[in-house]
Amino acid sequence: MSTTSTVAPASAGRATPRAPRRNPLRSVPLISVALLVLLVVAGILLASRGENLLSAGSIVDILTRSSLLGFIAIGQTLVILCRSLDLSVGYVAALSSLVAAVVMDGEPSRILLGVAAALGIAAAVGLFNGIVTTKLGVHAFITTLGSGLIIKGFLDTRYPGPSGSVPSAFQGFGYTRIGVLPVSAIIMLVIAAAGALMLHRTRLGHSMFAVGGNIDVARLSGIRTDRTLILAHVMCSTMAGLAGLLLAARFSTGVGAQIYGAGYDLDSIAAVVLGGTLLLGGRGGIGGTIAAVLILGVLDSLFNQLQINPFFRDVLRGVIIIAAVALYARRQIDPKKARVRFRDTTSPSAAEPPPATEGGRS
């Protein structure tokens, strides 16, 4: 007569550890809450003056501002995710606007040629930045600052003032609306959705997170790190070129100093960091960047309507950005992950491996 023996599992007799309950508020992106709070506060402030934040003119103004900075910030997000940055985006936007206006020269038949030339020049600058950074080992801060100064010298020498003209058919890119939605804002949102899909669903997007997380581990894992970083810089400059096309459409001509002096480079970095992307790379996303761009657009529109002094406007803007980023960083600190200086090696649980942590994407 055979007997069946059952082996008790090793974990029998021990209570199964209950998974820690996650605070549902921590799953809500803080930047979305900040945007909602800002809209409520701005609406109350303007309502006290008899104005309406949600009027058609105000919405169009906010979305137009946001689309211009949004194009640049989307590209900046990609390079920062790869633990790099691009300080030449403002100069690239100015160069692209001039190239488009000069090539079009007011002729509707040359619109496509002007668009291709502007985006091609912008992509070439990004290719230069990426190759110098990866192949020559020059830090991206120096590389992009140097390329930006080269473009500035060229524009100041050859195009000290407005040059070229944009045909009226192309100006629709800057002024056409569908309801209260500017076409430029719709294009920005479509590109943002495509960028988010690329980051989370394609091999290139996964490689960008890996390169930003740890470039040595990414290289040992078989990822072509140089090619990933070069592509990120090319896409960043191309997005700056698209912003230059929007500026050319709104100004109806190509402009140099007025564009690169507007500070789009630092504003785009501020939007990316405010949106939750780590400046050290490897974590973040385009969704947070778009929300941060909308916050900056609402702030600028609010300051204009309240007629705040430009000096105090910049001070308030800087204080709000620093406070928001500090609050975001504070929220990411997990007290349970405090470093253990003396581990108890006598208990059985000390021999168990640490639990796996979540990935770096958000």
pLDDT tens-digit readout, 225-261: 999 999 999 999 999 999 999 999 999 888 888 888 8
Residue 312 CB partners (closer than 8 Å, separation 6+): none
**For residue 243, what pLDDT is reported?**
93
* pLDDT for position 106: 87
How many residues belong to the chain? 362
Pairing, β 177-178 against β 181-182:
antiparallel
Full-model pTM: 0.81
**Beta partners for 254?**
163
Give me the numbers of helices (H) and strands (E) for the chain, helices first please: 14, 2
Chunk the chain into consecutive blocks of 10 residues (it has 362) and report each block's average pLDDT, rounded to whole numbers. 44 52 55 85 85 83 88 94 93 94 91 95 96 92 94 90 88 86 92 94 93 91 93 96 93 86 86 86 89 89 82 79 71 50 48 45 44
pLDDT of residue 11: 46
Q: What sign for the dihedral angle of Cα 61, 63, 64, 70? A: positive
178: Cα separation from own chain's centroid: 25
Q: What confidence score (pLDDT) does residue 8 get?
A: 46
pLDDT tens digits, residue range 156-179?
998 888 888 999 889 888 888 888
C-alpha closest to that of 32 among 334, 324, 311, 251:
324
CA atoms within 13 Å, Cβ hemisphere of 328:
24
- pLDDT value of position 305: 83
Shortest CA distance to 122 belongs to which of 154, 145, 100, 153?
Answer: 100
Helices 56-81 and 264-274 cross at an angle (nearest 10°) of 80
